[in-house]
């Protein structure tokens, strides 16, 4: 497949209602917070996981769309698939001495694993398949306004063992954010896409993933998470026509007039505007959602 020929940046807005978008295991699974501003945070790793999960559902068993980084995956076994498919014998921790064979191994991983050719991967383990720098990268998402996590008490009605039948109900805790609108910035490099084979079809799949990734990620902690707006900046030139920060600065998210004195509780409490006059020549804007 032909790699994409244009550079892109994007802004994704998503929200959570009475849920925990990304708990911190080092803090009792509390929603992640910026300690200086109390803005909520969602890591890039968390969002990439949801993209991977969506692709796995939509492209199940479809050639070229396997997922490299899966739960309980043995990465060396993933790498062995390339060696076996190409009939190359591996040496511990070493790539083949022949450059052509080494490139063939890494190319096979890109061609067969969507997340390798999208996000890249460091595959220099015991079974060495090289290293790939992916064309798609995400920053941390942060909430537009400060958020206030709540701790909610819950009870467990059932017990595990018969000996515990007469004991009092077990009490537990869960942490939620009443409402938070989050913003994340993303980048797609056409020049890095040339190295991995990231194609126009892959790009469309990425957009679908960003729009729909929360629709297949429901849980007790994330019952109401939604992608609200995806703003895509497309450059005419593969190297880009403007710095990314200028494009991001053209998108502003503010509270609706007259509502700033009360806590936000829905997406409609915000106004999203794009200053199209500030967007440089050679860059077009596409809004989805």
Of 190, 69, 201, the closest CA to residue 135 belongs to 190
State the pLDDT at residue 67. 97
CA atoms of 66 and 44, how far apart (whole Å): 20
Max Cα-Cα span within the chain:
73
Of 177, 196, 65, 228, the closest CA to residue 119 belongs to 196
Instruction: Residue 170: count other Cβ atoms within 10 Å of its Cβ.
Output: 13
Domain boundaries, the chain: 8-151+174-288
pLDDT tens sequence across 104-136: 999 999 999 999 999 999 999 999 999 999 999
State the pLDDT at residue 168. 66
State the pLDDT at residue 158. 77
- Dump the DSSP string for 69-109: S-TT--HHHHHHHHHHHHT---BTTB--SSHHHHHHHHHHH
- Residues in the chain with pLDDT values less than 70: 168, 259-260
CA atoms of 28 and 128, how far apart (whole Å): 36
State the pLDDT at residue 159. 74
Half-sphere exposure of 19 (CA within 13 A, CB side): 20
CA atoms of 134 and 188, how far apart (whole Å): 9
pLDDT tens sequence across 193-230: 999 999 999 999 999 999 999 999 998 888 799 999 99
State the pLDDT at residue 259. 67
CA atoms of 130 and 255, how far apart (whole Å): 47
């Amino acid at each position: 497949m032909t790699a994409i020929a244009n550079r892109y940046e994007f802004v994704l807005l998503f929200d959570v209602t009475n849920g925990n978008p990304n708990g911190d295991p080092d803090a009792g699974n509390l929603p992640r917070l910026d300690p200086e501003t109390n803005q909520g945070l969602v890591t890039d790793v968390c969002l990439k996981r949801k993209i991977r999960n969506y692709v796995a559902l939509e492209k199940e068993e479809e050639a070229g769309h396997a997922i490299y980084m899966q739960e309980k995956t043995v990465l060396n076994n993933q790498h062995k698939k390339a060696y076996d498919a190409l009939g190359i014998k591996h040496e511990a921790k070493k790539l083949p001495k022949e450059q052509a064979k080494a490139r063939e191994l890494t190319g096979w991983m890109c061609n067969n694993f969507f997340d390798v050719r999208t996000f890249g991967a460091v595959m220099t383990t015991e079974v060495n398949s090289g290293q790939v720098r992916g064309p798609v990268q995400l920053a941390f998402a942060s909430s537009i306004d400060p958020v206030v996590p709540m701790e909610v008490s819950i009870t467990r009605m059932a017990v595990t063992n018969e000996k515990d039948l007469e004991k009092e109900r077990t009490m537990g805790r869960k942490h939620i954010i009443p409402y938070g609108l989050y913003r994340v910035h993303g980048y797609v490099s056409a020049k890095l896409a040339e190295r991995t084979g990231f194609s126009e079809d892959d790009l469309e799949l990425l957009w679908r993933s960003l729009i729909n990734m929360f629709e297949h990620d429901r849980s007790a902690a994330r019952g109401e998470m939604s992608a609200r707006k995806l703003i895509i900046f497309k450059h005419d030139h593969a190297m880009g026509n403007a710095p990314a920060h200028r494009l991001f600065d053209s998108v502003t998210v503010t509270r609706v007039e007259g509502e700033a004195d009360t806590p936000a509780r829905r997406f409609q409490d915000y106004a999203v505007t794009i200053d199209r006059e500030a967007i440089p020549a050679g860059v077009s804007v596409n809004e989805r959602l």
